[in-house]
Structure 1
Amino acid sequence: MNMHKSFRLSAVAMALYSAFGGTAWAQEMDELDELIKPESKVSVGIGVWSKDRAQQGIYDGMREGDKAFWLLDADIVKRDEVTGTWMTLKTDSLGVDGSRSLQGEYLRQGDIGIKLEYNRITRESPQTFNTPLQGAGTTKQTVVNTGLDTAPRRDLTLGTLREQTSLGLYKNLLPGLDLNINYQHEEKTGTRAWSPGHSVHFVTEPVDSTTRQIETALSYTTKKWQLRGGYNGSWYKNNNPLVRVGYTGAGSVTNPTYLSFPGDNEAHQFFLNGGYNFTPTTRATLKLEYARAIQDDSLPTNGVTDWPSEHQRAVGPDKLDGKVDTRLVHLGLTSRPFKNFSLNASLRYHDVEDKTPIRTYSTAGAAYNATSPDYVRNSYTTVTSKLEGTYRFAKVYSFTAGVEDKRQDRDRPLRVTGAEKEIVVPLRSQVDETTGRLELRRSLSDVANGRISYLHSRRSGNRYKRALWDHSDDVGLGGLQDIRNLTNPLHMAGRDRDRLRLSVDWSPSEALSFQFSAEEGRDDYDNQATMTHGLDKGTNRLYSIDAVYTVSDELKLTAWYSYDQNKAEQSHYRTHTTGGSGGGFGDPAVKYTDLQDTGNSLGLGLRWEFTSRLNFGADLEWFRSVSKYGQDVSPLAAGGVAVFPTQANLSLGVPDIENKLLRLSLFSTYAIDKSADVRFDFIHERWKTDDWTWQFADGSPFVYGANANVDGTTVYTKPKQVSNFFSVRYIYKFQ
């Protein structure tokens, strides 16, 4: 490598010396030397947001207004040309108490490399919770009955913190043989909004977990062979396995409630990836994987001593003993048997075998294995084959045709009732999907390039197996016991899918260029006469255009716009009450839902080199999204007409949700001298929403419960947030 560069530079030097003499030769050598040496930067600055920005500051750690933030960044690169050794140090947002990173690397090309990295990732909830909850964020919390007990209230801002430390090692062992080892350790802490589940009470989830991952791989490369194999391992540990929630006063809930977390688990994977070049135009690839995931952590309730009397301790095993094996085999072949024709074929086998024992975790002191278990197996095998060919003609055109066939065999989840095994939900044991693809592409043109493609897929399978579900004890439910046998599951329902995609790159002149893309998609689900509930149809579309106009070497303008829309229509089974204080079940009905999400995005940009020392830049971003939830309910029985007598009463739609964001960014850089710049930034940010998730239509905040037997926690959110950001940085550059 060094010999090649020395020869190239010597040839350039001799040519310059012969043509222009020693002065030109020396000047050109200085310029080449500047290009070869990497540049390093260190910047120090300070910035402030004028007002709080809880929504847009979820991840960047700068949600508080009227507070100064240090801006410390560095990108240091050093290279020893004699040994080919690179040393880098890079930091991002080091002075902000939020998400930030620090990365250092030592690399001697073709020999050894070490990389150390630290990432801090924060997520702060945009809502504020005013609550009397005691012990928030701990494993022992107490819900206060505000109707019977007086306790101080306080504001809580919830959030999580992930701290990742990783170490990577690279070593060349022999010519063509490399070793890579990567280890990552992550600690995740914080609090999230939670609830006991049986009632509308506010509690917090105390997040405290540790995840460790390691990857070890050997890579071997020759002119013919490329192989990479090794081991991946992961270990997850939950440091808070159980949370005890107590209650004050004599409300509807007096005994403690226990809430559990995911148990400790681990996974181990062995893999081998490879490729072999038969000829310069024919190549085969191979991928082999075997993995085992294990969850054998003891149930956290084993140590509970004050279990509520009305909920007797479960009788059963003390742990799940979960075990899932995964196998993957992928074979691929690419070839160009003729000058203008290429072929791509692949075969993929993916098997997931759930070996977790089917056991009973009974309640109320029932005998072991006497009632339905809380866990059922879910194993499946998928075989995917693909064949695709491309033919090139007229020098700039190519036509591609391909087909992909996916066949899946699934276990039907079972439950155990005594000595009998029953189907839990109506599933297919076989799911088949075939996709065809056609594409026409134009390339290698200086003015216009583009492609248009069409995909059609058809998913089907064998007949559904009806669920055996006896719900005769639920008096008054009518046909509710058959609801499971009326549902068409999304992931295996019969479906026709069509996709049309178009993309064009157009440069009408040397200064102006456009990029345009469009995609239309339609899904049509096969809701059979016996499987009437689920998705019926769906559509999606995406259009985008980007433009770049270079006015001069000093002035450049950019613009982009995108539009996306997703729709889905589905039907649900529901019941409505017949009135009265008991609120009993009435006649069943079908609820039709028409969901729609529409987004518009616009961006404008300017880069202007005003003088040799002064640069300006501006970016304008605008975003608007609207989510619509159209709902209609139609009675299925004559008795239902009494509840919904007119068409006007059929509408149960909820208000639309609209989100808007406008961000204007202005910046300017002034070069003090060759090695130092000063940069000024200004950002104007406006965000607005009418999201009713945490507030009511009249703008009032959401409250946990509406009577005296609840804690009365109030959730506050600002539907409109406007803030301005000012910053100044000093940037030092060196080599």
Structure 2
Amino acid sequence: MYDTQMNFRLSAMAIALLSVFGTAWADDEEIAELIKPESSVSVGIGGWSKDRPQQGIYDAMRESGPYGLIDADIVKRDDATGTWMKLKGTNLGLDNRELKGEYLRQGDFGISLDYNKLTRDNPNTFNTNLQGIGSTTLIESNNAALAKPAVNLGTSRESIGLGLYKNLAPGLDFNLTFKNEEKNGTRAWGRGGPNQFPEFAVEPIDSTIKQIEGTLSYATKTLQLSGGYYGSWYENNNKMVTMSTLGVVPTGVGTNNPSTTYLSLPLDNQAHQLFLNGGYTFSPTTRATLKMSYTHATQNDHLPTTDIPGLSLAGAPSSLNGEVNTTLVQLGLTSRPLKDLSIMANLRYHDVKDETPVARFVQSNAACASGQCVDNTPFSYKTISGKLEGTYRLGDGYSVIAGVEERRQNRVVPVSNANGTGALAGADTQRVVPMRTDVDETTWRLELRRSLSDTLNGSLAYLYSQRTGSSYLKVAGPGNSITNGIGAPGPSNMINPLNIADRDRSKVRLALDWSPLESLAFQFNVEQARDKYEHSADRPYGLDEGTNELYTFDVSYTVSEKWKINAWFSHDRSQATQVNSRANNGGGTAVLRKDYELTDTGNSIGFGVRGEPTSRIKLGGDLQWSRNVSRYDQDLGIITAGTVIPANYTPGLADIQNKLLRLSLFSTYSLAKNSDLRLDLIHERWETNDWSWMYASGTAFTYGNGAVDGTTVTANPRQNATFVGMRYIYKFQ
């Protein structure tokens, strides 16, 4: 939405003139001159001493070398007509850049045009002989004698936006925005190769997203309404990737003939929404709000797989004909019926109807045994939630807040026409995970607040929620029924799905703000939460329990009018216990149990200083240190008597640790009243022992089985780099 409220800086001198002497001492022309908006243009150059793949993922400065530093912020105002003209450019010398121009005649008309580019570079290096990277035709030679050149992957987004604003009548405004975004590049991908070994592939990115929104807003003293239309269109210029494998295939893996694999890509889709938001003030103490929307989303692009003989099931639809309709209605009411009592209530209705027809797209054999048939499974759900909250002021600065929130969801269990006739026979219904038709959750909240004094404020809150639901509908399917083919309920039926499992959650939150001195301020926050998932004898697997804790501490101190310092500390820890199982020796009745203890811990410390040692020099600095550790402890147990623990069993995976140290220093020297010279110095040190792509021994991850593919992935575990930049800043009015 176009912003009709213009923000500009009011100098301290203008404020002083108005507050002390009044308008009689400062005429309109003098005040207008004092609050005249300031513009600036800065031009410079900077460079990094070394490559920084990890920290340069999004800032377009991955590689070492020089970069242009160009920024502009130009603001002009015509006092006679109330017209503003603004032009702002950021990072104009980099691939990641923004440029926006605005023209606004206050209370009448406005137009804006902006351009943005955002890049995302993959931090890893891929050494591969895969040919055709960036196209929809990939060729893997599988010739170990060929050199594997290094390849860097990444994507870029370029968008152009247009905004229009027009005041149609007092209190009636019209806003229109349009955005066109082009996304291009390459993304790391993969496919299942011979004997289930993964093989390297690259997804070609070439898509367009168009968005348009028109809003009509009306506002009076008591009534505010805003409604309109929002539409989005996604178009993918690439529909499918053809990947051919050439060269000698090892004995026992396949034949010496070239093989071809087809990899699908996202298809075109669109969505259209009508919406209305509003509010009405019945009295100074009572107000109601309304939010409504209806969204019609479709995906009816042609399926390219149907054009290739033998690739799709004969007679399968040539398009998904997908359709999802979403209805949202939300009502809210706030009131203050008594002097010391405030009440807030809302009711929300959210209905997602997936009206995509069920169809068979893949069928490996006539009997559809062992899950060799694939149907799409539309999923619809309806959620009704309500919230009631009251605040009562007790006196002496105390307030107590109590509330309850109820959420009830009805879910349509996906089914499939597994008999291939189009009939949804119950015996043929396929489900790969347990399902529930009803999921309900209730959350209670109790909070105590107090303004302890002019310098100390605090709050203590406790939240408790409980989620339950209907009985589970078990995993089922042709040739599988409710078992996994071994005559007993399979592990798939014994899982507590994370998002719908019975769960008790409790959370405590403490917040304190303390300003013992006018120049000194502290902020302290503590949050602790615990989740407990209910298990039973027939449903022992899945997440068992989890905890989360967060501590933050901030302090700021004004040493003098020219010197300020601040420091902060943050600690967060998330822990989860998960129970898994697997059949031993490739099947049979013997079952092993794995208990995982998953923990993520993060600690961050920061320090900053700003100062003016002389009237011409300003300087400052920030120091940041962070350390994050992920742990994957596991324990293997025996569920079935006689089960043998494999000889190659390991008690767990190695910890993953990431560390970052970043020091930023700057200094600005005033050359003249309207020009400055700024120097920036940044040093960063990043370190990891992440084994996702690099084994503990330092060996690079390799695709394939040693003779097929052979693509390697490498990542530098230690990245240190220094940036030095200098820029000239010119300011004018």
Return the TM-score normalized by structure 1. 0.91
Counterpart of 1:604? 607
Percent of aligned pairs sharing the same letter: 52
Residue 651 of structure 1 and its aligned partner are, at CA, apart by: 4.7
Aligned partner of 2:542 in structure 1 is 534
Matched with 2:659 is: 660
Please tell me the residue identity of whatever aligns with 1:171. K
Corresponding residue for residue 112 of structure 2: 115
Q: Does residue 174 of structure 1 match 2:182?
A: no
The corresponding residue for 1:442 is 450
Q: Distance in 1 between matches of 2:16 and 2:59?
A: 51
1:514-529 paired onto structure 2 within 5 Å: 514-529=522-537
How far residue 329 of structure 1 moved from its aligned partner, in angstroms, is 0.8
Please name the residue that 2:679 is paired with: 680
Change (3 A) 1:475 1:368: closer
| Equivalent in the alignment of 2:509 | 501
Summarize the Cα distance change of 1:445–1:102 in structure 2 as closer, same or farther, 3 Å threshold. Answer: farther
Q: Kindly report which structure 2 residues correspond to 1:85-484, keeping only aligned pairs within 5 A, or say none.
A: 85-97=83-95, 99-147=96-144, 150-198=145-193, 199-251=197-249, 252=253, 254-304=258-308, 314-364=314-364, 372-394=373-395, 396-418=397-419, 419=423, 420-421=425-426, 422=429, 424=431, 425-443=433-451, 445-469=453-477, 471=479, 478=486, 482-484=490-492
> Any conservation in 2 of the 1:314–1:364 contact (CA below 8 Å)?
no
Partner Cα separation in structure 1 for residue 484 and residue 338 of structure 2: 72
Is contact 2:610-2:620 (8 Å) kept? Answer: yes
Instruction: Report the 3-state secondary structure (helix = DSSP H, G, I; strand = E; otherwise coil) of the residue aligned with 2:535.
Output: coil
Q: Which residue is equivalent to 1:590? A: 593
Q: CA–CA distance in 1 between the matches of 2:163 and 2:22?
A: 46
**2:568 is equivalent to residue 565 of structure 1:** no
What stretches of structure 1 of length at least 5 have no aligned partner? 20-24, 578-582
Q: Secondary structure at the match of 1:201?
A: strand
Corresponding position of 1:48: 47
Distance 1:613 1:312, change over 3 A: closer
Tell whether the 8 Å contact from 2:406 to 2:442 is kept in structure 1 after alignment.
Answer: yes
Write the distance in 2 (CA, Å) between the matches of 1:141 and 1:558: 54
In the alignment, is the contact (CA less than 8 A) between 1:371 and 1:416 conserved in 2?
no
Is the contact between residue 41 and residue 73 of structure 2 (CA under 8 Å) also seen in structure 1?
Answer: yes
- Give 1:58-97 correspondences, 5 Å limit: 58-65=57-64, 67-97=65-95
Letter in 1 for 2:503: R
Give the Cα–Cα distance (whole angstroms) in 2 for the partners of residues 273 and 474 of structure 1: 48
Distance across 1 between alignment mates of 2:576 and 2:680: 43
Q: State the shift of 1:32 in Å.
A: 4.2
Determine if contact 1:600/1:624 at 8 Å carries over to the other structure.
yes
Over the residues paired in the alignment, what is the CA RMSD in angstroms? 2.8
Describe the shift of the 1:320–1:102 C-alpha distance in structure 2 as closer, same or farther (beyond 3 A).
same
Q: Is contact 1:101–1:118 with CA below 8 Å preserved after alignment?
A: yes
Q: How far 1:650 sits from its partner (Å)? A: 6.2
Compare 358-367 and 392-401 and name the one that shifted more: 358-367
Distance 1:363 1:472 in 2: 16
**Partner secondary structure for residue 490 of structure 2:** helix
| Separation in 2, partners of 1:642, 1:467 | 28
Picking from 538, 559, 562, the partner of 1:554 is 562
1:584 shift after superposition: 6.7
CA distance in structure 1 between the partners assigned to 2:482 and 2:399 by the alignment: 64
Q: Secondary structure at the match of 2:306?
A: helix
Rounded to whole Å, the distance in 1 between the matches of 2:531 and 2:661 is 33
Q: Which amino acid aligns with 1:721?
A: Q
Q: 2: CA distance between counterparts of 1:728 and 1:34?
A: 32
Q: Is residue 404–residue 435 contact of structure 1 (8 Å, CA) maintained in 2?
A: yes
- Determine the structure 2 residue equivalent to 1:57: 56
For 1:642 and 1:338, the matched residues in 2 are separated by 68
Q: Quickly say closer, same or farther: Cα 1:508–1:17, change in 2 above 3 A.
A: closer
Query: Which amino acid counterpart does residue 40 of structure 2 have in structure 1?
Result: K
For residues 155 and 468 of structure 1, the distance between their equivalents in structure 2, rounded to whole angstroms, comes to: 47
Runs of 5+ consecutive residues of structure 2 not aligned to the other structure: none
Task: Return the letter of the residue paired with 1:295.
Answer: Q
CA 1:35–1:244: 2 relative to 1, 3 Å: same
Distance of 2:296 and 2:184 partners within structure 1: 27
The offset of 1:462, in angstroms, is 1.5
In 2, Cα distance between equivalents of 1:576 and 1:546: 52
Instruction: For residue 566 of structure 2, give the secondary structure of its aligned residue in structure 1.
Output: strand
SS at match of 1:202: strand
Closer, same or farther: CA 52–339 of 1 in aligned 2, 3 Å: same
Supply the AA of the counterpart residue of 1:61: A
Answer whether contact 1:315 1:363 (CA < 8 A) is retained.
no
For residue 475 of structure 1, report the CA deviation from its aligned partner. Answer: 12
Could you give the per-residue CA deviations for residues 429-464 of structure 1, whole angstroms, max 9, x where no partner exists? 111100001111223842111211110000001111
Please give the alpha-carbon distance, in whole angstroms, between the structure 1 residues aligned to 2:453 and 2:89.
41
Give 1:394 deviation, angstroms: 2.0
Maintained 8 Å contact 2:312/2:362? no
- CA change 1:392–1:345 in 2 (3 A) is same
Q: What is the alpha-carbon distance in structure 1 between the residues aligned to residue 336 and residue 658 of structure 2?
A: 50
CA apart distance, 1:417: 2.9
Instruction: Go from structure 1 to structure 2 and tell me whether the alpha carbon gap of 1:597 and 1:289 turns closer, same or farther (over 3 Å shift).
Output: same
**1:630 and 2:612 correspond:** no
> How far is the alpha carbon of 1:396 from its aligned partner?
2.4
Whether the aligned pair in 2 keeps the contact of 1:144 and 1:247 (CA below 8 Å) is yes
Contact 1:358 1:373 in 2 (8 A): no
The amino acid that maps onto 1:565 is R
Q: Report the alpha carbon displacement of residue 585 of structure 1 after superposing the two structures with TM.
A: 6.5
Report if aligned partners of 2:102, 2:112 keep a CA contact under 8 Å in 1.
yes
Alpha-carbon shift at residue 476 of structure 1 (Å): 10
How far 1:428 sits from its partner (Å)? 1.3
Q: Contact 2:184/2:206 (CA < 8 Å) preserved in 1?
A: yes
2: CA distance, partners of 1:14 / 1:537 = 60
> For residues 246-267 of structure 1, what are the alpha-carbon distances to aligned partners after superposition, in whole Å with 9 as ceiling and x for unaligned?
0111314632000011111001
Counterpart amino acid of residue 219 in structure 1: S
SS in 2 for 1:535: strand
> What residue in structure 2 maps to residue 580 of structure 1?
none
- Alignment partner, residue 552 of structure 2: 544
Deviation at 1:481, TM superposition (A): 5.5
* Equivalent residue, structure 2, for 1:22: none
- Measure, in 2, the Cα distance between the counterparts of 1:158 and 1:731: 36
> What is the TM-score with the length of structure 2 in the denominator?
0.92
- In 2, the alpha carbon distance for the partners of 1:51 and 1:724 equals 7
Q: What residue identity is the alignment partner of 1:553?
A: E
Counterpart AA for 1:342: S
1:572-625 Cα offsets, whole Å, 9 max, x none, are 122343xxxxx6767321211110000000100011100010111011000100
Contact 1:361 1:368 in 2 (8 A): no
Output the CA distance in 2 between the equivalents of 1:191 and 1:539.
38
